[in-house]
Amino acid sequence: MLIANTPEPPYYAVIFSSIKTNKDEGYEEMAEFMVNLAKQQEGFLGIESARDEIGITVSYWKDFESIRNWKNQVDHQVAQKRGKKEWYKAYKVRIAKVERDYGF
Amino acid sequence: MLIANTPEPPYYAVIFSSIKTNKDEGYEEMAEFMVNLAKQQEGFLGIESARDEIGITVSYWKDFESIRNWKNQVDHQVAQKRGKKEWYKAYKVRIAKVERDYGF
C-alpha cells in the first residue's frame, strides 16, 4: 500500500477511523474485497490504509456523488452492517473536501 | 490512541501520509514531541495515527489559520526538515475541510 496518487485538488476524502473488536473472522477477506470493489467505482481516486491500535483508511473520490454512491453500494452495505455488528468496537467516518496538498 | 472526539463539522483535517526510510534514530522521540506540541496549539481538536506499511496521521483543527500557524511553528519546522532529510522516503500532506461525520 503506497501513498495514493491523487490529482490536483479539489477532490474529496473519506476518513474512516476504527477500533477493532477481538473478532477477526472474515475480516481480512472482507477488507480486501471492499478495497477491490471501491477501486471499481466511478469517481474513485485512491486509497491509503494503516492499522496499529487504531485503523485509519482514507479513500479519495472525485466528488460527493461518488462517495454517496459508494456508501449505498449493495455489497458495501452488507460489509458496513457486518462491520458494525462484529468487527468494530467503534468507528467514525469523516467526509472532507481536500483543498490543498503537497509532498515529496 | 483513540478516535478523536471532534466537535460538529465543519472543522479541518490535515492528512499526513508517509513512507519511512529505514532510519529510525530520533524518530519516536520526535513524533511524540510533535504530538504533545500539536495538542498545545490554538485551534487543535484532536489527532489519530496509525502505521504499518504506510503511516497515516490525521490531525483536526478549528480553522485554516490554526493549520497555517502549526505548519510554521518553529519546533515543528525543525521536525519537518529533519523528517524530509532522514525519516521519510516520501510523504503527502492534504488539507481538507470536514463537512460531515458520523459513527458509533
pLDDT at B1: 63
Mean pLDDT of all residues in A67-80: 97
State the best of A5, A12, A15, A53 to mutate against chain B, taking most chain B CBs within 10 Å. A15
C-beta atoms of A102 and B96 within 8 A: no
Among chain B residues, the shortest Cα distance to A67 is held by B100
User: Given this model, what pLDDT does residue A75 score?
Assistant: 97
The cell for A96 is: 472532507
The answer to whether the CB atoms of A3 and B15 lie below 8 A apart is: no
End-to-end CA distance of chain B: 17
**Residues in chain A closer than 8 A to B93 (CB atoms):** 101-103
Task: State chain A's mean pLDDT as an integer.
Answer: 97
Domain B11-98 has CATH 3.30.70.100: yes
Q: The complex's ipTM?
A: 0.96
3-state SS, one letter per residue, for chain A: CCCCCCCCCCEEEEEEEEEECCCCCCHHHHHHHHHHHHHCCCCEEEEEEEECCCEEEEEEECCHHHHHHHHHCHHHHHHHHHHHHHHEEEEEEEEEEEEEEEEC
**Spatial separation of the C-alpha atoms in residues A82 and B72, rounded to whole Å:** 43
Instruction: Please state, in angstroms and rounded to a whole number, the distance separating the CA atoms of residues B7 and A102.
Output: 26
Mean predicted confidence (pLDDT) in A3-12: 97
pLDDT at A4 over 80: yes
Other CB atoms within 10 Å distance of the CB of residue B104? 9
Chain A residues within 8 Å of chain B (Cβ atoms): 1-4, 6, 9, 13, 15, 17-19, 48-56, 58, 84, 90-104
Place A66 in a pLDDT band, splitting at 50, 70 and 90: very high
Residue B96's identity, in one-letter code, is A
CA angle B81, B89, A44 (to 5 degrees): 110
> What is the mean predicted confidence (pLDDT) over A39-58?
97
Q: Which of B8, B101, B3 is nearest to A95 (CA)?
A: B101
pLDDT at A20: 97
Q: How confident is the model at residue A1 (pLDDT cuts 50, 70, 90)?
A: low
Average confidence (pLDDT) over A56-75: 97
Residue ranges, chain B, pLDDT below 70: 1
Q: Find the CB nearest A93 among B15, B48, B103.
A: B103
